[in-house]
Structures are given as structure tokens and as C-alpha cells.
């Protein structure tokens, strides 16, 4: 059971990032992560279901969440200014955020499936196939680290970015330790993976709060922080 938990920790470090809002010409709005984008269509992950929308159906795509259902007249002028300031800043960093989301979306589903398979193999004492799967996960983690290192983060998110790379590298070292049969070191790397991930999310939250992020952005980060803290207990 300890080995299963360690593998789960090592393969579940990927950051969670806010979704886009896709507004259709019909007026309908869809909130979700864009998982595929071409000149003809976009594909959106909507609560685990991939939805395809063609370009001629789309009125716009926003980087920030839709406004709350509260009437605009209920906002103070200060709140409106804060919202505008956030939108301007977020639009500036959005190209980086979009690339981070792309890395997340391409790898998270695969990692989740890999985790499930590895747990089944450990429980079934299928050591040979388990080791083959761990070697496969090494290659995936190496690819993730390379993808992250190729990105140029905005100055304010550099620490967030570095902590994500650090978390991925600890995860990769943990897999090395599992393959070497060193469960103690793997467990230690598992803790380091979580701690680096936690620091990444905390840093992201600090920067977002500084720029007046709406609650739709802060709440998912708070949830991630709570989950990561619980994992350390």
C-alpha cells in the first residue's frame, strides 16, 4: 500500500489552472480548458467531456471567468477598476498560462491512467510489468521537464514556474528510486514533490491576489493548497 501511495504522489504533481470562457454566437457560454485548437475548430474539456466547436460558431474566447450573475450596478467603482486591472494583467500573461495548460492537458490524463495501472500491478504483484510501466513514466516525466524548461515565464511567475519544474524533477527521481527498490528514498522524493508543488501554488496565489484576481481564480488555488497540505499529513 505504501508503494501505491508513493507512485500516486509522484505522478500527480501537475498544476491546476483556470479555464477559459468560450462565448458562442448564440449567446451561450462554456467554461472549460481548451485541449485542442486548429484553424477550423477548438475542442474543450467540459467536466471531463470533450466538446467540439467550430470557429464560425464562436463569438469570442476570454482568458478570465464570466462575470458573476450579480448586476453590474451592484459593483463599486473600485471593484470595477480592480477587475479591469486584473483583466489587463492576465491578458498579458495569458500566452504563458495557455502553454502551461497545454502541457497539463496533454499529460494529466495519461498520468492518471498510468497511476491506475501501476496500482493494479502492485496489488497483483505483477513486478515485471510494473517496472516497465515505471520506466515508461520516467520518459513521460523527462518530457514534461523538457517542455517546462522550454517555456519563458513572466517575471512575476518565475518562482511558480521553477517550483513546478522542481516538483517534476523530484517526481522523476522518485521513480528512479522505486525502480532501484529504494522505497525510503522514493518516499522522501514523494514528500519533496508535494512540497515543491505546494510552494508553486502558494506563489501563484500570492501573485494573483496582488493583481486583484477574482474569487473564481483564487478558490481553485485554495482547494489545491488544502489538498497538498493534507497529503503531507
- pLDDT over threshold 80, residue 233: no
- pLDDT over threshold 70, residue 14: no
Domains of the chain from N-terminus onward: 2-17+82-232 (no CATH), 19-64 (2.30.30.100)
pLDDT at residue number 4: 44
CB count in 10 Å sphere of residue 205: 19
Q: How far apart are CA 4 and CA 95, in angstroms?
A: 36
Q: How far apart are CA 9 and CA 172, in angstroms?
A: 11
pLDDT digits (tens, 9 = 90+) for 87-108: 889 888 888 888 887 777 666 6
For 71-93, b/e burial (b = at least 16 CB within 10 A) is eeeeeeeeeeebbeebbebbeeb
pLDDT digits (tens, 9 = 90+) for 163-203: 989 988 888 888 888 888 888 888 888 888 889 988 999 99
pLDDT digits (tens, 9 = 90+) for 204-214: 999 999 999 88
pLDDT digits (tens, 9 = 90+) for 21-74: 788 889 888 877 776 778 788 888 765 567 888 988 888 876 544 333 343 344
Beta bridge partners of 54: 41
Amino acid at each position: 500500500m505504501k508503494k501505491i501511495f508513493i507512485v500516486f504522489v509522484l505522478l500527480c504533481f501537475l498544476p491546476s489552472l483556470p479555464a477559459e470562457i468560450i462565448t458562442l454566437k448564440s449567446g451561450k457560454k462554456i467554461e472549460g480548458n481548451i485541449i485542442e485548437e486548429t484553424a477550423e475548430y477548438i475542442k474543450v474539456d467540459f467536466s471531463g467531456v470533450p466538446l467540439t466547436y467550430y470557429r464560425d460558431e464562436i463569438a469570442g474566447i476570454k482568458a478570465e471567468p464570466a462575470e458573476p450573475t450579480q448586476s453590474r450596478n451592484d459593483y463599486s467603482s473600485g471593484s470595477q477598476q480592480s477587475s479591469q486591472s486584473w483583466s489587463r494583467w492576465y491578458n498579458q500573461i495569458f500566452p504563458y498560462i495557455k502553454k502551461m495548460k497545454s502541457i497539463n492537458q496533454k499529460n494529466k490524463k495519461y498520468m492518471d491512467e498510468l497511476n491506475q495501472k501501476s496500482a493494479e500491478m502492485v496489488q497483483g504483484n505483477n513486478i515485471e510489468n510494473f517496472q516497465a510501466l515505471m520506466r515508461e513514466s520516467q520518459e513521460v516525466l523527462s518530457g514534461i521537464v523538457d517542455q517546462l524548461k522550454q517555456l519563458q515565464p513572466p517575471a512575476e511567475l518565475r518562482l511558480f514556474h521553477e517550483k513546478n519544474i522542481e516538483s517534476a524533477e523530484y517526481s522523476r527521481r522518485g521513480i528512479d528510486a522505486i525502480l532501484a527498490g529504494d522505497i525510503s528514498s522514493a518516499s522522501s522524493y514523494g514528500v519533496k514533490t508535494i512540497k515543491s508543488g505546494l510552494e508553486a501554488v502558494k506563489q501563484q496565489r500570492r501573485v494573483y491576489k496582488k493583481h486583484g484576481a477574482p474569487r473564481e481564480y483564487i478558490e481553485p488555488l485554495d482547494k489545491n493548497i488544502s489538498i497538498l497540505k493534507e497529503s503531507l499529513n
